[in-house]
Chain A
Amino acid sequence: GENVEQHPSTLSVQEGDSAVIKCTYSDSASNYFPWYKQELGKRPQLIIDIRSNVGEKKDQRIAVTLNKTAKHFSLHITETQPEDSAVYFCAANTGRRALTFGSGTRLQVQP
């Protein structure tokens, strides 16, 4: 089955700096890669996703890149703000199956 690895497990940045979180996956058939943000005690919320026919996608301060050859994808947050502090999860799936999640990255944005 699919295996998703996520790094780093914790990330601390100064407000205004950029943050990058990286994930690798094992199943070359995976074709959908969402990113979720989870605040303490809350549900995971989809913030951006990318499909395998696209190399990069951007939505305001958030961007995701996908390298299918290397089987890795990354989340980029620019101009970080304190409200970006949360746990971020990457995930992958093949459409027919459920999502396989990474282990999460705790992002702390220092004001």
Chain B
Amino acid sequence: NAGVMQNPRHLVRRRGQEARLRCSPMKGHSHVYWYRQLPEEGLKFMVYLQKENIIDESGMPKERFSAEFPKEGPSILRIQQVVRGDSAAYFCASSPRETSTNNEQFFGPGTRLTVL
């Protein structure tokens, strides 16, 4: 009964490279959320996805960032042309459904991105 899986756990990129972060939700969960946590700060919402559908991307920077959750496979957060300010921990969370009666979100271990 695996929890939320994320890989890689640590990712080092040079400025200008691309970063791809993967998230596999808990079994039976169809809702995925991505959050970013800067050092010594709280978690900031980025994007909320269901299979093949972006529900809310209001927290996503307009440029360089994109996310997908295909019919098969993990959700992917993609950061193009990374800059030093992208260095952070990126957490994925999943929930079984969106309704207010059962919307606990369970977090993965995070991907710590370091941009040199």
Contacts and interface: CB of A to CB of B under 8 A. Distances in A.
Given A43-B108, A44-B91, A95-B98, A100 B103 contact: no
Interface string A5-48: 01000000000000000000000000110101000001111100
B100 A94 contact: yes
Interface residues of B, number: 25
Nearest to A93: B103
Contact of B107 (A45, A51, A96): A45
B57 to A, nearest CB: 10
Interface in A57-111: 89, 93-104
Contacts of A103: 41-42
A26 B91 CA distance: 25
B69 interface: no
Contacts, number: 59
Contacts of B91: 43-44
B41 A31 contact: no
A44 B107 contact: yes
Contacts of A49: 104
B73 interface: no
Interface residues of A, number: 26
B98 A102 contact: no
Contacts of A101: 35, 42-45
Nearest to B47: A98
A4 B6 CA distance: 27
Nearest to A97: B56
Nearest to A103: B42
A43 B110 contact: yes
Interface of B: 33, 35, 41-45, 48, 56, 58-59, 91, 93, 98-101, 103-110
